[in-house]
Amino acid sequence: MTDNKEKLDFTQDKSSRRPKSTTPSTVKKPENKDALGAMIKVTIDGKDIKVPMGTTILEAAKELGITIPTLCDHSDLCVAGVCRICVVEVEGMNNLQASCAYPITSPIKVHTHTRKVRQARRHVLDLMLAKHYGECYSCVRNGNCELQDLADQYGVDFYRFGHMEKPEKGSDDSSYAIERDMDKCILCRRCVRTCVDLQEVGVYDVLDRGEETHIGTFLDKPMNEVICINCGQCINRCPTGALHAKDPSDVIWNAIDDKSKHVVIQTAPAPRSAIGECFEGVEPGTPLTFEMNTAIRYCGFDKVFDTNFSADLTIIEEGTELIQRLYGALVEDKGEALPQFTSCSPGWVKYIEHFYPEMLKHVSSAKSPQQMFGAVIKTYYAELNDIDPADIVTVALMPCTAKKFECNRPEMNDSGFKDIDYGLTTRELAQMFKEAGIELPKLKKSDFDDPFGTQTGSGVIFGATGGVMESAIRTVYELVTGKKIDDLFDHANIMPVRGFDGIRYAELPIEEVGPVPELLEGLVPNWDWLKGVTLKVAVAHGTANAKKVLENIKEGGKLSECHFIEFMACPGGCLGGGGMPIPTNEEIRAARAKAIYAEDEASEVRKSYENPAIAKLYSEFFTEGPCSHKSHELLHTGYNVRGKKMV
Amino acid sequence: MQVIEREKVKSEIKDLKAKYGDDRSALLPILHALQNKYNYLSDVIMQETAHSLDIHPVEVEGVVSFYSFFRTNKKQGKYVIRLCQTISCDLAGKKNVARQLENELGIKFGETTEDRMFTLEYTNCMGMCDKGPAMMVNDRLFARVTPAKVSDIIADCRSNFIKTDFPDVVPSNVEKTGPILNNDVKNHAGLKKALKMKRPDILAEIKKSGLKGRGGAGFPTSVKWQLAAAAKSDKKYVVCNADEGEPGTFKDRYLLYQHTDKMLDGMTIAAYVLGAKKGYIYLRGEYMYLKNFLLEKIEKRKEENLLGKNILDKGLEFDIELRMGAGAYVCGEETALIESLEGNRGEARNRPPFPTDVGLQNHPTTVNNVETFIDSALICAQGADWFQEHGTEQSSGTKLFSVSGDCKKPGIYELPYGITIRDMLAEVEGEAAKAVQIGGAGGQCIPAKDFDRKISYEDVPSGGSIIVFGPERDMLKVAKNFMEFFVEESCGQCTPCREGNPKLLEGIEMLEEGRCSSSYLSELIKLGETMQVASKCGLGQSSPNAFLSIVKNFKSEVLGRVPEKV
């Protein structure tokens, strides 16, 4: 396989549309740090440091270990410089400067906590608190709120300029996934920059001006009437409780308490790598998979299953669909829609339904692992254990807010029941643990429940961008060639599709083919037609990157030649999901990825088709094999042309 | 909206894109055109415009809701009456006119009559400060409106202005001229001379003249041009800031109308110095009635080979496009103006980098005031020494002042920098003043004891606005008017300005009601000081100035009031 990343040119940014007021102060950092004038000496609070030209005061201070408070600044987003909490004094300048937005281009002396600075910061804070409905006890972000932290650090013990006593705007809970409580908004605009720039979805923007300025949706429509994809990235970056997910934990507790209900939970790969972050003293990237199983049982769930099972099932179904499309295109000369797009990420699915509905035929009809699992539990598992599916409550622990919307799609009840009753985020499960008095890191480990408890590496890597592609390659390559992928890639680690580059591209030449395996018998007569074919794949994460890929395909660019493309709505894939612990940044996401790949390495089963539970399911339940009539009924779905019209 | 109508709107947007460009910078002109046609911007229009420019509908709404001239309300009268509520018109009796308008039409401000004929709105400074109270009916201007005239104006509207006693164009009132307004320099003489000079020589001449930006900030023009000229880029822009929005300023309105060619000469000289091929005039929405006049001027210059591919056969290529603002004071700030030209909300950018490096569409850009361009053209024609004959060491030349308020001779004055306030008051016959606001809403309020101070960059700077307050004026009401202005005109992005101004206004209301302790007042003064140093742009930084200077200089007048009984 070759990694042809460098051949792709996505640098030409056609979107000149982004307001420059929120564009980073573009002083390009020098490539050669040894060049004359490339490094500049700065003195901050009496300490000297040399930094590359264009470094912001904030970055330089960080390097010196000097803390400057921030609110609107976020490392994933472009610079705004609007909250003014990070102001510092630069010698020789009368006005204070926003350290997040001030690029250093000449030697300067900076002071970060003079009287003038302290007074300004305190005023900024007091002004924010005056307009913030700060009912901390009843706030979802109590204990994890950047505004609360600042009030603490600055010793706020009275409201200098008054305080909002009653909510004025009320909250919008119309969406299945995302609730907005604008009385808590401090207008840092992180959500706007997330939605417009990072994700290019464009639900929010700043409306009106002056005192009336607020963050709104188009025509201030409720969230269920706008083009929101429910990715929840705005929640992850909101410094306060103005944006939060719709929390189903109360009804889940009720189900647990109801003895007539059989409550099962599946846990997705990404949450296990991150749930520890919700507990004190746990570093990002500490997997607590098996402690979590113990805690879940302690809470009273009847069964805890591993979503890895249905991730593997997805690979079989989606892989089979890909083979069908390839056969149709290469042998039968049918106008198959290629490349095939993955369908695991419900944020991505809603994105394409809104913005590129004409390309929906490319999307695999396979349901996401969450939904497949639900369908299997309420049919196969119910039969197996003789439980009335009406009494089964399926909970899905997900890193995701869009999963809450997905499980409520009307088409997702092929078993005759709602496939999944509740989508629960990592944050919400951690909260349930805390309510039950569980200190997660201290618990003993325990395994998943049978029959869907096999820990597979091929499933767990679904949690990282590129993971679905990697699993698909491992399985498809081995099923087609009969050879071990390990011969091509050390430890079957397919490095070209890993990493955090926005768009990745790789090629996999199929030089030899083997016999058609039993699982796929009847699907194709042989593999000869694939001999000599080079499979071309790509991976994109974050919908802004997805947009670039789709535009490239529409223009007939290089990616239109791909056979299979993985899309994840969230930056970093599921490990950067909207339901994951707050805060998020590149470093934290990298730590989570490391934990996920370590779990993959440690797994005995690392190829989906080798998962024994999968083999059992096809021999006992989907006996006609993948993509058969029955599997289509339960494991596949259709999509809606939503379009982007709102009026 | 019907499908057919939606398709019609779509095809209109397509035509407008062909005219104004297919990227976001075409947004404001497109919205202006659609509003002209449909009288308001419907939800469908906003959505289709967004989709056609490949931006999000909510972004278009963000822009529309930012500018006060864009309307999304269908219930808009055929005649929209906008009464100026800013300080000078307020002093001149706007309240009584407002009351009578409400009486005649039977509606309140912000409402529309049942028959959809009239809508009443307030607007901020329209540049008619010496002839207040002023109001606009659609884009027609009415000056010195009295309560008694209100019913006539309404009757004129009802008869479609067929018979009206009010003139089409309200002439400006020039009380005193000087070397800038009154000279023998022919149009284009400065340009012709400049094109024979080498670029560095022009810069040297302007540097020698000591010309500083006439908009108010007072940045040396030669330095600005030099920086933009030295910046490396394939494209550069010259922008004329004709967004004269500072309350109490109306001299650019006159200059744009009477000295247009010299201004265009100045822009062309700047283009030559910078190596810019494209220029923009950003004209404030309130001066819509000057639009066609300026367009004709530009056209005429093209015919005369003063604009185009080969200007005066000297191989200079330069073209000027006119862009309209839409009612936002903050767009007078140069980076906010650039944002507006790019089709965004007029929100100031972070600086550095400065527009001379990273300006319009990220290319080096110089933004100068109308008067600055005229001065530049004259300096090229007459030489730096001529310009330096007047003024002080750090503030050379004469300056146009817009004088309004409580004086006998309001109007435009050309006076040398360095003149004392006292001398100026003698000139305008306002000697009895108890205070003078210098530099507009963001300027300083100077009390009588300081009337010997000089108007200059080294003492009391001014972009030209002089508002005189007579002995009977209630200074708290003055401060309140200024704060109301900033609460509305803040762009809303940075915390100190957005949240601070309403707090200062609240403080004034407490003072009015006589329930503000002096300790809370000093808290507000400190807040004002924070706003001065911590706000993102010049608007926020200068917004508390009037409040601070009034409560400081008139402390015993503002404290301890017994509230007026209503």
pLDDT, tens digit, 9 for 90 and up, residues A544-603: 999 999 999 999 999 999 999 999 999 999 999 999 999 999 999 999 999 999 999 999
Comparing CB atoms, the residue among B59, B361, B491 nearest residue A205 is: B59
Name which of A85-99, A134-148, A476-490, B552-566 the model is least confident about.
B552-566
- Give the C-alpha separation, A406 to A564, whole Å: 23
Residue from A218, A223, A554 to probe the interface with B (highest B Cβ count within 10 Å): A218
Contact call for residues A612 and B13 (beta carbons, < 8 A): no
When pLDDT is cut at 50, 70 and 90, the band that residue B161 belongs to is: confident
Mean pLDDT of A293-304: 98
CB contact under 8 A, A202 and B492: no
CB contact under 8 A, A21 and B23: no
CB contact under 8 A, B66 and A208: yes
Of A194, A220, A245, which one is at a domain's C-terminal end? A245
User: B398-469 is classed in which CATH architecture?
Assistant: Roll (3.10)
Query: Using one digit for the tens of pLDDT, what is the confidence trace for B94-123?
Result: 999 999 999 999 999 999 999 999 999 999
Looking at the structure, do residues A516 and A606 belong to the same domain, yes or no?
yes
pLDDT beyond 80 at A8? no
Q: Is A26 exposed, middle or buried (0-12, 13-18, 19+ CB in 10 A)?
A: middle
Query: Using one digit for the tens of pLDDT, what is the confidence trace for B209-230?
Result: 999 999 888 899 999 999 999 9
SS (H, E, C) A615-641: HHHHHHCCCCCCCCHHHHHHHECCCCC
Q: Return phi, psi of residue B39, to 5°.
A: 75, -20
pLDDT at residue A322, as a whole number = 97
Q: Return phi, psi of residue B125, to 5°.
A: -25, 125
When pLDDT is cut at 50, 70 and 90, the band that residue B500 belongs to is: very high
Looking at the structure, do residues A109 and A147 belong to the same domain, yes or no?
no
* Residues of the domain holding A88: 2-113
Task: Give the nearest chain A residue to B62 (CA atoms).
Answer: A207
Residue A620 inside a domain? The answer is yes
Query: Using one digit for the tens of pLDDT, what is the confidence trace for A410-436?
Result: 999 999 999 999 999 999 999 999 999
Looking at the structure, do residues A72 and A131 belong to the same domain, yes or no?
no
Distance of CA A301 to the CA centre of its chain: 26
Which residues in chain B have Cβ-Cβ distances shorter than 8 Å to A226?
58
Which residues in chain B have Cβ-Cβ distances shorter than 8 Å to A99?
none
Looking at the structure, do residues A128 and A173 belong to the same domain, yes or no?
yes
Looking at the structure, do residues A361 and A502 belong to the same domain, yes or no?
yes
Which residues in chain B have Cβ-Cβ distances shorter than 8 Å to A20?
338-339, 342, 344, 349, 358, 362
Looking at the structure, do residues A75 and A156 belong to the same domain, yes or no?
no
Helices (H) and strands (E) in chain B, counts: 23, 15
pLDDT beyond 80 at A491? yes
CB pairs under 8 A between A and B: 192
Whole-angstrom Cα Rg for chain A: 26
Looking at the structure, do residues A608 and A556 belong to the same domain, yes or no?
yes
Q: What is the CATH number of domain B175-388?
A: 3.40.50.11540
- Angle between the B27-38 and B43-52 helix axes, to the nearest 10 degrees? 150
Looking at the structure, do residues A106 and A132 belong to the same domain, yes or no?
no
Looking at the structure, do residues A204 and A336 belong to the same domain, yes or no?
no
- Give the C-alpha separation, B56 to A511, whole Å: 47
- Looking at per-residue pLDDT, the higher value among A32 and A276 belongs to A276
Looking at the structure, do residues A146 and A192 belong to the same domain, yes or no?
yes
- B23 CB within 8 Å of a chain A CB: yes
Looking at the structure, do residues A598 and A619 belong to the same domain, yes or no?
yes
Q: In the beta sheet, which residues pair with residue A305?
A: A266
Residue A438 inside a domain? The answer is no
CATH number among 3.20.20.70, 3.40.50.300, 3.40.605.10, 3.40.30.10, domain B79-158: 3.40.30.10
- Supply the CATH number for residue A564's domain: 3.40.950.10
Which residues in chain A have Cβ-Cβ distances shorter than 8 Å to B9?
none
Task: Give the nearest chain B residue to A97 (CA atoms).
Answer: B534
Task: Give the nearest chain A residue to B26 (CA atoms).
Answer: A17
pLDDT beyond 60 at B566? no
- Looking at per-residue pLDDT, the higher value among A378 and B2 belongs to A378
When pLDDT is cut at 50, 70 and 90, the band that residue A22 belongs to is: very low
Q: Which of B389, B394, B400, B390 is nearest to B424 (CA)?
A: B400
Query: Using one digit for the tens of pLDDT, what is the confidence trace for A394-416?
Result: 999 999 999 999 999 999 999 99
Min Cα separation A410/chain B (Å) = 28
Query: Using one digit for the tens of pLDDT, what is the confidence trace for B38-69?
Result: 989 999 999 999 999 999 999 999 999 999 99
Contact call for residues A339 and A562 (beta carbons, < 8 A): yes
CB contact under 8 A, A120 and B530: yes
- B350 CB within 8 Å of a chain A CB: yes
Residue-range domain boundaries for chain B: 3-66, 79-158, 175-388, 398-469, 475-558
Comparing CB atoms, the residue among B23, B348, B350 nearest residue A16 is: B23
Which residues in chain A have Cβ-Cβ distances shorter than 8 Å to B500?
123, 127
When pLDDT is cut at 50, 70 and 90, the band that residue A480 belongs to is: very high
pLDDT at residue B169, as a whole number = 66
Residue A289 inside a domain? The answer is no
pLDDT at residue B167, as a whole number = 66
Structure-derived torsion over alpha carbons of residues B27, B30, B34, B36, reported in degrees to the nearest 10? 110
CB contact under 8 A, B534 and A123: yes
Q: Which of A145, A205, A212, A165 is nearest to A22 (CA)?
A: A205
Of A46, A80, A113, which one is at a domain's C-terminal end? A113
- Supply the CATH number for residue A90's domain: 3.10.20.740
CB contact under 8 A, B350 and A25: yes
Which residues in chain B have Cβ-Cβ distances shorter than 8 Å to A85?
495
pLDDT at residue B74, as a whole number = 79
Q: Is B18 exposed, middle or buried (0-12, 13-18, 19+ CB in 10 A)?
A: exposed
Residue A207 inside a domain? The answer is yes
Share of chain B above pLDDT 90, in %: 89
Strands A262-267 and A303-306: parallel
Query: Using one digit for the tens of pLDDT, what is the confidence trace for B362-373?
Result: 999 999 999 999
Comparing CB atoms, the residue among A15, A79, A211 nearest residue B498 is: A211
**Tokens at A73, concatenated:** 């600044």
What is the phi-psi region of residue B216: left when phi exceeds 0, alpha when psi lies from -120 to 50, beta otherwise?
A: left
Comparing CB atoms, the residue among A21, A83, A202 nearest residue B56 is: A202
**Tokens at A461, concatenated:** 């890597």
CB contact under 8 A, A189 and B493: yes
CB contact under 8 A, A208 and B492: yes
Which residues in chain B have Cβ-Cβ distances shorter than 8 Å to A647?
1, 43-44, 47
Distance of CA A470 to the CA centre of its chain: 18
Q: Is B207 exposed, middle or buried (0-12, 13-18, 19+ CB in 10 A)?
A: middle
Min Cα separation B187/chain A (Å) = 37
Residue A417 inside a domain? The answer is no
CB contact under 8 A, A17 and B353: no
Task: Give the nearest chain A residue to B6 (CA atoms).
Answer: A647
Q: What is the CATH number of domain B475-558?
A: 1.20.1440.230
Q: Which of A632, A190, A230, A532 is nearest to A409 (CA)?
A: A230
CB contact under 8 A, B541 and A95: yes
Mean pLDDT of B417-428: 97
- B498 CB within 8 Å of a chain A CB: yes
Domain count, chain A: 3
- Give the C-alpha separation, A597 to A458, whole Å: 10
Looking at the structure, do residues A72 and A164 belong to the same domain, yes or no?
no
Query: Which residues of A are the active-site residues?
Result: 318, 321, 344, 364, 403, 406, 411, 574
Which residues in chain A have Cβ-Cβ distances shorter than 8 Å to B503?
127, 130, 161
Query: Using one digit for the tens of pLDDT, what is the confidence trace for B276-314?
Result: 999 999 999 999 989 999 999 999 999 999 999 999 999
Min Cα separation A21/chain B (Å) = 4
Comparing CB atoms, the residue among A27, A212, A647 nearest residue B43 is: A647
Min Cα separation B225/chain A (Å) = 20
Min Cα separation B328/chain A (Å) = 10
CB contact under 8 A, A123 and B488: no
